[in-house]
């Protein structure tokens, strides 16, 4: 089963936790109905993301075989054949469509906006896989937009309003991770001497500048998010002090990126870096207290 989990890139499903963001910040996480909807959204988004991953690996199989890390992927290594990968892809797509209808029936709710987001995410990533990932700047914007769509999907399925600052914050945060990944790929290309078309239009100096700009924007957006009237009214005014956790996390991320060059895959940060793990736990704990125990 391990090779199939790798094919689906189950470890990347952590990105889809962004669908829980609207529910978490609404203070309604204990509402079992809304939680069930968010779980459905997580599963549906995870499966469609796996469809995209399989499609990407199928399209890049020859290039991946020349990559020091990606050649270990199930399709590139031959652990799973191309026909079997297409069967799995088709099955996942069918299951995902069925789950949307099941969710609509169970929750007795019109989910056309949610379904439209899933469809747009899928079509956007088809364009990314076959063409747009080779277009500098646009490629990282598509990655960042994918995270925004995750948050919007969580909002539409639960009916929870998402503020403009929250949407912008999600976008620039994802932009930071996307640029960090590109920079890591550039460093690896310098070491191995092998590059790929996706890195055309980038160099380390540009990535450093773009990363600094994006981190600055992310911190400013987070500050404005905590100072926005709806957040101040919903939470305690002390929410502003969680900025400390955010600044520390970004500085640690920059250290990993600029000093240690360890950020080709942003999800590795979550799984391996103890400092960021502790900060994330403290940040979540602070919001749990502010949201659910403010009285």
For the segment 167-217, what is each residue's pLDDT rounded down to a tens digit? 999 999 999 989 988 888 888 777 666 666 778 789 889 999 999 999 999
Q: Do 2 and 18 share a domain, yes or no?
A: yes
Domain count, the chain: 2
Q: What are phi and psi of 108, to 5 degrees?
A: 50, 55
What's the pTM value of the predicted model, to 2 decimals? 0.90
Q: Do 129 and 190 share a domain, yes or no?
A: no
Q: Which domain holds residue 29?
A: 1-162
* Last residue within a domain, chosen from 107, 136, 162: 162
* Last residue within a domain, chosen from 144, 162, 180: 162
* Last residue within a domain, chosen from 162, 196, 217: 162
Q: How far is CA 200 from CA 86, 121, 180, 182, in A?
A: 30, 24, 16, 11
pLDDT single digits (tens) 211-254: 999 999 999 999 999 998 888 877 777 888 999 999 999 999 88
From 285, 256, 288, select the one nearest 272 (Cα to Cα): 256
Q: Do 43 and 133 share a domain, yes or no?
A: yes
């Amino acid at each position: 089963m391990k090779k199939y989990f790798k094919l689906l890139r189950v470890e990347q499903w952590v990105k889809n936790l962004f669908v829980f963001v609207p529910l978490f910040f609404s203070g309604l996480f204990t509402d079992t109905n809304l939680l069930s909807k968010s779980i459905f959204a997580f599963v549906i988004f995870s499966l469609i993301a796996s469809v995209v991953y399989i499609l990407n690996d199928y399209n890049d199989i020859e290039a991946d075989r020349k990559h020091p890390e990606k050649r270990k992927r199930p399709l590139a290594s031959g652990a799973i054949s191309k026909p079997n990968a297409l069967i799995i892809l088709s099955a996942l797509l069918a299951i995902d469509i069925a789950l949307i209808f099941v969710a609509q029936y169970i929750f007795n709710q019109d989910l056309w906006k949610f379904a439209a987001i899933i469809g747009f995410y899928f079509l956007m990533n088809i364009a990314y896989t076959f063409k747009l990932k080779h277009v500098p700047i646009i490629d990282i914007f598509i990655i960042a937009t994918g995270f925004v769509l995750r948050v919007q999907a969580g909002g539409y399925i639960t009916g929870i309003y998402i503020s403009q600052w929250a949407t912008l914050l999600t976008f620039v945060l994802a932009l930071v991770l996307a640029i960090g990944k590109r920079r890591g790929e550039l460093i690896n290309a310098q070491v191995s001497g092998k590059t790929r078309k996706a890195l055309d239009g980038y160099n380390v100096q540009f990535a450093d500048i773009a990363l600094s700009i994006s981190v600055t924007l992310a911190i400013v957006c987070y500050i404005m998010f905590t100072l926005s009237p709806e957040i101040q009214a919903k939470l305690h005014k002390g929410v502003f002090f969680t900025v400390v956790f955010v600044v520390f996390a970004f500085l640690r991320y920059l250290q990993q990126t600029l000093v240690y060059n360890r950020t080709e895959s942003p999800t590795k940060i979550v799984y391996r870096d103890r400092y960021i793990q502790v900060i994330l736990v403290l940040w979540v704990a602070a919001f749990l207290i502010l949201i659910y125990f403010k009285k």
